Copies of this chain bind each other. A is one copy, B any other.
Amino acid sequence: MYDAAIEQLIQHLGKLPGLGPRSARRVVLHLIKRRESLLQPLIRALMEVSEGIQICGQCGNIDTNNPCTICSGPKRDHGTICVVEDVADLWALERTAAYRGLYHVLGGTLSALDGVGPEDLKMPMFLERARDEKVTEVVLALSATVDGQTTAHYIAERLADCDVSVTAIAHGVPVGGELDYLDEGTLSTALRARRPV
Interface core residue of A5, A8, A32, A69 (most chain B CB under 10 Å): A5
Kindly report which residue of chain B lies nearest to residue A47, judged by CB atoms.
B43
Complex interface: chain B residues within 8 A of A32 (CB): 49, 53, 62
Among A16-24, A140-148, A149-157, A176-184, the stretch that binds chain B is: A16-24
Q: Which of B18, B50, B88 contacts A40 (CB 8 A)?
A: B50
Given A2-B91, A53-B3, A69-B1, verify A46-B43 contact (CB < 8 Å): yes
A27: contacting residue among B9, B11, B18, B28, CB under 8 A: B18
**B9, B45, B47, B52: the one within 8 Å of A49 (CB):** B9
In the complex, whether A30 has a CB less than 8 A from a CB of chain B is yes
Q: Is the CB of A42 within 8 A of B46?
A: yes
Bound-complex Cα distance A86 to B30 (A): 12
CA distance A27 to B19 in the complex (A): 9
Interface residues on chain A, size class: 35 or more
Check: A136 CB closer than 8 A to any chain B CB. Answer: no
Main secondary structure of the interface of A (DSSP, over half): helix
CB pair A46 B94 closer than 8 Å: no
5 tightest CB-CB pairs across the interface, nearest first? A9-B45, A3-B63, A18-B23, A5-B48, A12-B42
A140 to chain B, nearest CB (A): 21
Cα A45 to Cα B3 with chains together (Å):
12
Residues from chain B with a CB closer than 8 A to the CB of A52 are 5
Of all chain B residues, the one with the shortest Cβ separation from A2 is: B91
